[in-house]
Amino acid sequence: MVAGARAFQGNPARRWATALLAATMLPGALAAHASAEPSALFAERWIDGTNGAEPATQVQALDADTFVIRQSVKTNFEAPFVYLLFGRDKALLIDTGAQDGRIRPAVDALIADWLAAHNRTTIPLVVAHSHNHGDHIAGDAAFRDRPDTTVVGLTPAGVAGFFGIDPWPDAIVPFDLGSRKLSILATPGHQSAAIMVYDPRLKILLSGDTLYPGRLYVPVNFLNDNRASLDRLAAFAATHPIRAVLGAHIEMTRTPGRDYPHEAASHPDEHLLELAADSIAELRSGLAAKLDVPGEGQVHDHFIIMPVPARDN
């Protein structure tokens, strides 16, 4: 097991204080600590497949109501990140992981701990998705029979209908967990039903596969959709403080512009999960290029814009 890494067992809520202290740092703290190990936002190093056996999932808390779960690269090369946020009235899970993941046991344990800490017996769970690609919805079946749980649909119409995004994709809508009002932003481009979630409490933007330290795949027929999404996102970011952009994968090393081979079995010298808010403007500027030849990527220090052949969805 990686030093400091932990599986989902135990009470992760007890570990929130260190992460919350990091989360109260000034907005420039992330950039200043870009080379730190562990990062300014997370108290522990993420499991990365480099130390032999590791748990199927690792949990880190941003505060007592906000948890980040990583699926081990040992279970699936995608090694996605999943997000669980609690409010007074409901909890929101963003994504359910890739094939062979064990996300539901981790989520159930976190919910049980949260309920015990609040002397409660139940809280409704909403399962939504950053987008509908298989490495983010493979665990859905495990949640469909879970009591008091709603699994949001996977199409643009299903996502728009549940959250009330009207018109799609232009409206930015609130989603209140109970004394915790999030903002839902439709961001089609990587995939047609993609969304981001902004949490003003922690000033974090959950950005899915639209922006993360890795290869940002954009089907050439969706380039204009992606550009429009980044225009809306940039306008939102201009009026909402963002301490960190948290995506769904890490595919970059700490060496600027260097990624891992596709389906890498381990991630030595892994980039931080979090990106600074100015990565939004950088991506928006990069997307202004022609980018019409699949496979000809545009390399940036912290991500690579990668046009891919046209897709139906």
| Tens of pLDDT, residue by residue, the chain (313 residues) | 222 333 433 344 333 333 332 332 223 333 333 333 456 799 899 999 998 889 999 999 999 999 999 999 999 999 999 999 999 999 999 999 999 999 999 999 999 999 999 999 999 999 999 999 999 999 999 999 999 999 999 999 999 999 999 999 999 999 999 999 999 999 999 999 999 999 999 999 999 999 999 999 999 999 999 999 999 999 999 999 999 999 999 999 999 999 999 999 999 999 999 999 999 999 999 999 999 999 999 999 999 999 999 999 8
| Cis, bond preceding 169 (omega within 30 deg of 0) | yes
CA 62 to chain centre: 13
- What does pTM read for this prediction? 0.88
Is residue 155 within 8 A of residue 176, CB to CB? The reply is no
Looking at domain 12-308, which of 3.40.190.10, 3.40.50.720, 2.40.440.10, 3.60.15.10 is its CATH number? 3.60.15.10
**Tokens read off for 259:** 């990624």
Sorted by sequence, the CB contacts under 8 Å of residue 215 that are 6+ apart come out as 251, 259, 297, 303, 304, 306
Sorted by sequence, the CB contacts under 8 Å of residue 248 that are 6+ apart come out as 80, 81, 95, 130, 136, 207, 208, 209, 212
User: Which residue in 72, 193, 79, 213 sits closest to 133, CA to CA?
Assistant: 193
